[in-house]
């Protein structure tokens, strides 16, 4: 994809300049960068081993020793929240990358060929969208078993259909431009026209879509973990933590849930702020 | 005209305007002074980027946020516009000055009915509610809209471009303004519609006595409409005076050069080349140590490069040039003589199309965009295709190229061999032989690819070249279209419009085509750039014996380049013939109207033939002759019942009209009658 990198470098200066003038983007970037650093180096900086149980100090409220308190097995919640970013920040981006690849290919095919290809694939996509994703996810997980890879594939394929629609509409506005007709008059193959001629020109919407999808993917991973079909114990994953502890909120142990929930919210907001900033900068 | 004659309607006094971009103020207007008297029409001409529209925006203080007035003042009807408070400014915009912009489709709100939008204008002016609607109807009548009641009930998209522009003019007139600013009001309209709108503006001027600031890139339109004209170059007024005098004997080298770029009258590619202006317009904000035109002026000397000339009186006008008396002798930058004689019109036709039709949709909603068109093209010949929007020019071209399959029954032959309808089923050689230059180079060139990649890829695919062969061919081709090699590394967005079109031309010539379709290749370009592109096309044709199908709405351009011209109306060829014959007549009544609609630079009034009504929809063409419902020379019932065939009015000149059919058939009919009497006699015997 040489053309793709070239176009990015050509516009890089304009886009970067307007990105760094956009405060939503900068705030989003700081939040996401914080969690990425936690994911990479979290295990070295946290005060406690996130897996170490300490039954005698179970369910202690936030204090100087345990900033976010401890859970029912006495594990330090602060350490778990910090380290818990790792799983979600591997699974969600991988799922998003898969979704973008699948969606881009499907979108190019349907948008460029139209006709029977479009009718067939688009109706299948719509049929898929008519079924609630959660049901598809549950069926797939029961069939394939729970693993990180299953979660990546399920979210990736399921989001791929959404990406395909965005890409398709971008392709539709490009395919009737004269440079495509000129390529046909050079006898270029359909693959060449789709990937070398059209794709570089629709990278902006794809980039924006991918950040938006990443936000949703984080949400989806957390949801799957919450209903027990995503990451499995003893992972310090946020969704999983909320799932195991939420019953205790009514008992007054609010700290066992609050900080994980805030972590999810902040990451999703951060990613969405980046998406917003990108959209503004690329939409010129 | 009760205003004092001493007070100008608009007065710009040493006005300078700059736009802030990249952290720097860039001057776009420099020291402009002009006065428009009450009731006067003043034309402001210049190429794109010279600051015409900025003048219009400054007058009503509509400058964008990054624009500011850096010096001088604007007085509208005596009031200093720059010093007005918000309330007074609103009042001024509502009551004293009105603007009409280029694109009427975008100036109207698409989701409100026309009537509602008109009534709003009267509300802004302060007309009591009960009177608004009657006043709106009255204004619509004033702009010659028949049946204003029903137009009020329609949405903008239900009106044609010409009607939309009339509605906008009606809105502009609502406040009975002292000053009317028309910013390219007819650009983008078809020739006959443009003529209509210009007639309307002329009439209204007589009735209302408003002053007009008429901004246009089209010198001929300004010649027709304006008393005085100012020529803008790089944000400076370089020449100003009475329109007729300036256009007849310009004194600034830029005006001289600009006028020479226009294809005029009988000038044709095999008789002489158009002149061009070398170099480029200075970028906005460039520092000027001397005359802004010095770099492109053949007369420039050291004084021109170091000393900015003042706008000085020179005889009957103002000129910003150190040597106005020498301007008329400024040497041409492109020699007029043609090196190679024209090779056109020899041998068998390279391309022949018969009975091509294209129908979109089915059943009752079917639209026949092209109907039964036949034409042929000789090697090295240019066939001009002329017609207004919706006449099917572009669809016809795309059918020939194979981009749009024609309806069954049509036949396209290349060198006598039938071509497949669709591009996919044509052989490589056949695809290579026919290429196209599109109208808009912005969308015709892939914006992610470099110029080198775009032309190189074409050479690879169409020329079958690789490696060193490709490189050397690339260099020759790039030189042939006069592109500097340094542009190869750039992307289209970094090039000017003219350079982009050169890249597109190079691409279309990569495979040594036999036929190149030129689809309005210069309509997006300035006059001086257009001249260079037309010359280039003429040169390439002379050197390579390529045939052109040249589509344009600009008759002057078509005439310069074409050997034969076909006129399309509602998807049918209604007249086809040698270029010079077509301009001299006899013509189809539609061609007559089209020819008379084109304003000419001499400002002389053509014998006007104005068409009534609008071009009918292709979905519902009139019965009989397609032109009968608008034809000023309609014969009668025969026009409504039978579609006239293309008949030869003179050798090689075919016209589809009953008038000529009867003249032509006259002789044949007499012969036929004789034969019949003869037969009867034979029977009797």
Distances (CA, A) of B490 to A7, B380, B451, B494: 11, 33, 6, 6
| Angle in degrees, 0-180, between the axes of helices A255-282 and A203-226, rounded to the nearest 10 | 170
Distances, alpha carbon A50 to alpha carbons A4, A38, A266, in Å: 42, 13, 21
CB contact under 8 A, B431 and A187: yes
Measured between alpha carbons, how far is B559 from B264 in angstroms, rounded to an integer? 9
Structure tokens belonging to residue A201 = 């020109």
- Position B576 scores a pLDDT of 94
Entry pTM? 0.84
How many Cβ atoms from other residues are within 10 Å of residue B314's Cβ? 17
**Nearest residue on chain A to B437, judged by CA atoms?**
A182
Output the pLDDT for position B475.
93
**Whole-number pLDDT of residue B674:** 47
H helices of chain A, in order, are: 2-19, 23-45, 77-113, 115-130, 133-144, 148-175, 178-184, 190-192, 203-226, 238-245, 255-282
Would the CB atoms of B423 and A178 count as touching at under 8 Å?
A: no
Could you state, in order of their start, the residue ranges of all structural domains in chain B? 10-96+177-329, 109-175
SS3 B219: helix
Chain B partners of A201 at a C-beta cutoff of 8 Å?
446-448
Phi, psi (degrees; rounded to nearest 5) at B68: -150, 155
How big is the CA angle at B465 (ends B463 and B471), to the nearest 5 degrees?
115
Distance, CA of B264 to CA of B259 (rounded, Å): 9
Q: Is the CATH code 1.10.3720.10 the one for domain A2-282?
A: yes
Phi and psi at residue A46, to the nearest 5°: -70, 150
Tell me if the bond preceding B586 is cis, omega within 30° of 0.
yes
Q: Give the mutation candidate from A14, A178, A190, A194 for the B interface (greatest B CB count, under 10 A).
A: A178
Q: Is the pLDDT of residue A214 over 90?
A: yes
Q: How far is CA A222 from the centre of its chain?
A: 11
Q: Rounded to a whole number, what is the distance in Å from the CA of B443 to chain A's nearest CA?
A: 6
Q: Which residues of chain B have pLDDT under 70?
A: 1-6, 265-266, 338-346, 603-607, 662-685
Nearest to A185 among B401, B440, B447 (CB): B401
Nearest-by-Cβ selection for B438 from A178, A183, A197: A178
List pLDDT tens digits, range A46-81.
888 888 888 888 788 888 888 888 888 888 889 999
Q: B587 near B406, Cβ under 8 Å?
A: no
Give how far B438 is from chain A: nearest CA, Å. 7
Instruction: Please name the residues between 433 and 472 in chain B that touch chain A, using a CB distance below 8 Å.
Output: 434-436, 438, 440, 443-450, 457-458, 461-462
- Closest by CA to B616, choosing from B574, B571, B570, B573, is B570
pLDDT value of residue B682: 45
* pLDDT reading at A17 higher than 70: yes
| Chain A neighbors of B507, CB-CB under 8 A | 182
Q: Is the peptide bond before A234 cis (omega within 30 degrees of 0)?
A: yes
User: β-strands B236-242, B228-233: how paired?
Assistant: antiparallel
List A residues 179-208 in contact with B (Cβ-Cβ < 8 A).
Answer: 179, 181-188, 197, 200-201
Strands B10-21 and B67-76: antiparallel
- At A180, phi and psi to the nearest 5? -70, -40
pLDDT of amino acid B338: 67
| CA B646 to chain CA centroid, nearest Å | 28
- B440–A178 C-beta distance less than 8 A: yes
- With a CB cutoff of 8 Å and minimum separation 6, the contacts of B143 are B166, B167, B169, B170, B173, B200, B204
d(CA B10, CA B6) in angstroms, rounded, equals 12
pLDDT at A101 over 70: yes
Q: Cα(A68)–Cα(A51) distance, rounded to whole angstroms?
A: 15
| pLDDT tens per residue, range A153-183 | 999 999 999 999 999 999 999 999 999 999 9
The 3-state DSSP class for residue B239 equals: strand
Could you please report the per-residue DSSP string of B513-570? -SEEEEESTTTTS-HHHHHHHHHHHHHHHHHH--EEEEEES-HHHHHHH-SEEEEEET
| Closest in A3, A177, A187 to B428, CB measured | A187
ipTM score: 0.81
Judge: A10–B507 Cβ closer than 8 Å, yes or no: no
Best of B448, B449, B451, B503 to disrupt the A interface (most A CBs within 10 Å) is B448
Q: In chain A, which residues have their Cβ closer than 8 Å to the Cβ of B449?
A: 3, 200
* Residues within 8 A of A (CB atoms), B 172-231 only: none
Question: How many C-alpha atoms does A41 have within 13 Å on its Cβ side?
Answer: 4
Q: How far apart are CA B544 and CA B254, in angstroms?
A: 33
Contacts of A48 (CB under 8 A, 6+ apart): A66, A75, A76, A78, A79
Closest chain B residue by Cα to residue A180: B444
Cross-chain CB nearest to A181 (options B403, B448, B449): B403
pLDDT tens digits, residue range B5-14? 568 899 999 9
Residue listed under structure tokens 């350079």: B499
pLDDT of residue B345: 56
Q: Assess whether pLDDT exceeds 70 at residue A5.
A: no
Angle at B508 between CA B502 and CA B514, to 5 degrees: 130
Query: What Cα–Cα distance (Å) separates residue B164 from each residue in A156, B190, B279?
Result: 50, 13, 38
Instruction: Return the number of CB contacts < 8 Å for A and B.
Output: 52
Q: Are B100 and B215 in contact (CB under 8 A)?
A: no
List the alpha helices (DSSP H) in B545-647.
555-561, 579-584, 589-597, 637-641
Test mutation, A115, A179, A187, A194, chain B, max B CBs within 10 A: A179
Q: Which of B598, B600, B527 is nearest to B193 (CA)?
A: B598
Residue A250 has pLDDT above 90, yes or no: no
B675: left (phi over 0), alpha (psi -120 to 50) or beta: alpha
**A236: confidence class by pLDDT, cuts 50, 70, 90:** confident
How much is the pLDDT for A267? 94
State which fold the B10-96+177-329 domain adopts. Answer: Rossmann fold (3.40.50)
Calculate the alpha carbon distances from A124 to A213, A217, B666 in Å.
20, 22, 67
Give residue A74's region: left, alpha or beta (phi > 0; psi -120 to 50): left
């Amino acid at each position: 994809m040489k053309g793709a990198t070239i176009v990015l470098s050509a516009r890089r200066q304009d886009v970067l300049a307007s990105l760094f003038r956009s405060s939503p983007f900068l705030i989003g970037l700081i939040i996401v960068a914080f969690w990425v650093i936690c994911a990479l180096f979290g295990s070295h900086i946290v005060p406690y081993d996130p897996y170490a149980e300490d039954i005698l100090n179970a369910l202690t409220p936030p204090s100087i020793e345990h900033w976010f308190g401890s859970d029912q097995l006495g594990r330090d919640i602060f350490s778990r929240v910090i380290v818990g970013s790792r799983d979600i920040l591997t699974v969600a981006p991988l799922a998003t990358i898969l979704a973008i690849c699948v969606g881009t290919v499907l979108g190019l095919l349907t948008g460029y060929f139209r006709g029977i290809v479009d009718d067939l694939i688009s109706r299948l996509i719509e049929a898929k969208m008519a079924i609630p994703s959660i049901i598809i996810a549950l069926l797939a997980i029961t069939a394939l078993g729970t693993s990180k890879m299953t979660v990546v594939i399920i979210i990736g394929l399921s989001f791929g259909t959404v990406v395909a629609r965005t890409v398709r509409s971008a392709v539709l506005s490009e395919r009737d431009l004269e440079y495509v007709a000129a390529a046909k008059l050079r006898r270029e193959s359909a693959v060449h026209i789709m990937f070398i001629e059209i794709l570089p020109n629709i990278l902006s919407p794809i980039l924006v879509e991918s950040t938006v999808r990443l936000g949703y993917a984080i949400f989806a991973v957390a949801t799957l973990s919450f209903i027990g079909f995503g990451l499995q114990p003893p992972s310090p994953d946020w969704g999983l933590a909320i799932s195991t502890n939420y019953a205790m909120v009514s008992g007054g142990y609010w700290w066992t849930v609050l900080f994980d929930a805030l972590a999810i919210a902040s990451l999703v907001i951060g990613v969405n702020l980046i998406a917003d900033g990108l959209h503004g900068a690329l939409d010129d | 005209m009760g205003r004092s004659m001493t007070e100008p309607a608009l007065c710009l006094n040493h006005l300078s305007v700059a736009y802030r971009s990249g952290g720097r103020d860039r001057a776009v207007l420099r020291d402009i002074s002009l006065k428009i008297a009450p009731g006067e029409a003043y034309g402001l001409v210049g190429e794109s980027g010279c600051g015409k529209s900025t003048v219009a925006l400054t007058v009503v203080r509509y400058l964008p946020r990054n624009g500011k007035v850096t010096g001088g003042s604007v007085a509208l009807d005596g009031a200093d516009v720059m010093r007005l408070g918000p309330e007074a400014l609103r009042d001024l915009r509502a009551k004293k000055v009105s603007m009409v912009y280029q694109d009427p489709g975008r100036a109207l709100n698409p989701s409100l009915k026309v009537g509602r939008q008109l009534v709003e204008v009267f509300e802004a002016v302060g007309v009591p509610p009960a009177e608004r609607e009657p006043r709106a109807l009255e204004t619509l009548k004033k702009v010659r809209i028949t049946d204003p009641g029903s137009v009020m009930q329609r949405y903008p998209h239900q009106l044609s471009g010409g009607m939309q522009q009339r509605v906008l003019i009606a809105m502009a007139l609502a406040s009975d303004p002292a000053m009317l600013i028309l910013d390219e009001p007819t650009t983008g309209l078809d020739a006959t519609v443009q003529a209509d709108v210009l007639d309307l503006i002329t009439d209204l001027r007589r009735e209302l006595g408003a002053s007009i600031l008429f901004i246009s890139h089209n010198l001929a339109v300004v010649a027709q409409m304006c008393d005085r004209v100012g020529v803008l170059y790089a944000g400076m007024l370089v020449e100003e005076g009475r329109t007729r005098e300036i256009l007849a004997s310009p004194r600034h080298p830029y005006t001289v050069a600009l006028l020479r770029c226009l294809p005029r009258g009988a000038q044709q590619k095999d008789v002489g080349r158009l002149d061009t202006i070398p170099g480029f317009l200075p970028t906005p904000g460039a520092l000027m140590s001397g005359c802004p035109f010095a770099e492109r002026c053949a007369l420039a000397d050291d004084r021109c490069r170091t000393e900015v000339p003042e706008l000085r009186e020179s005889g009957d006008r103002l000129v910003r040039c150190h040597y106005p008396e020498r301007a008329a002798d400024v040497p041409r930058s492109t020699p007029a003589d043609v090196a190679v004689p024209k090779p056109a019109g020899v041998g068998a036709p390279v391309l022949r199309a018969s009975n091509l039709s294209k129908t979109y949709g089915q059943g009752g909603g079917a639209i026949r965009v092209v109907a039964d068109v036949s034409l042929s093209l000789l090697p090295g010949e240019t066939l001009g295709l002329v017609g207004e929007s919706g006449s099917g020019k572009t669809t016809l071209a795309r059918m020939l190229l194979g981009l749009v399959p024609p309806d069954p029954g049509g036949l396209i032959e290349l060198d006598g061999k039938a071509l497949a309808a669709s591009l996919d089923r044509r052989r490589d050689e056949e695809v290579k032989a026919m290429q196209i230059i599109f109208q808009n180079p912005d969308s015709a060139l892939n914006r992610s690819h470099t110029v080198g990649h775009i032309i190189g890829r074409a050479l690879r695919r169409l020329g079958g070249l690789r490696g060193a062969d490709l490189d050397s061919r690339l260099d020759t081709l790039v030189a042939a279209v006069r592109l500097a090699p340094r542009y190869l590394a750039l992307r289209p967005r970094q090039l000017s419009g003219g350079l982009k079109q050169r890249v597109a031309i190079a691409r279309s010539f990569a495979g040594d085509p036999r036929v190149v379709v030129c689809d309005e290749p210069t309509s997006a370009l300035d006059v001086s750039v257009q001249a260079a592109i037309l010359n280039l096309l003429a040169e390439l044709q002379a050197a390579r014996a390529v045939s052109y199908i040249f589509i344009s709405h600009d008759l002057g351009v078509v005439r310069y380049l074409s050997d034969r011209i076909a006129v399309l109306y509602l998807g049918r060829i209604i007249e086809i013939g040698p270029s010079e014959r077509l301009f001299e007549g006899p013509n189809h009544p539609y061609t007559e109207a089209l020819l008379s609609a084109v304003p000419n630079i001499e400002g002389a009034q053509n014998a006007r033939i104005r068409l009534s009504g609008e071009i009918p929809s292709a979905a519902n063409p009139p019965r009989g002759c397609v032109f009968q419902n608008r034809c000023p020379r309609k014969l009668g019932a025969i026009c409504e019942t039978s579609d006239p065939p293309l008949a030869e009015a003179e050798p090689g000149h075919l016209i589809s009209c009953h008038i000529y059919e009867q003249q032509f058939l006259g002789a044949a009919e007499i012969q036929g009658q004789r034969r019949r009497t003869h037969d009867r006699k034979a029977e009797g015997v």
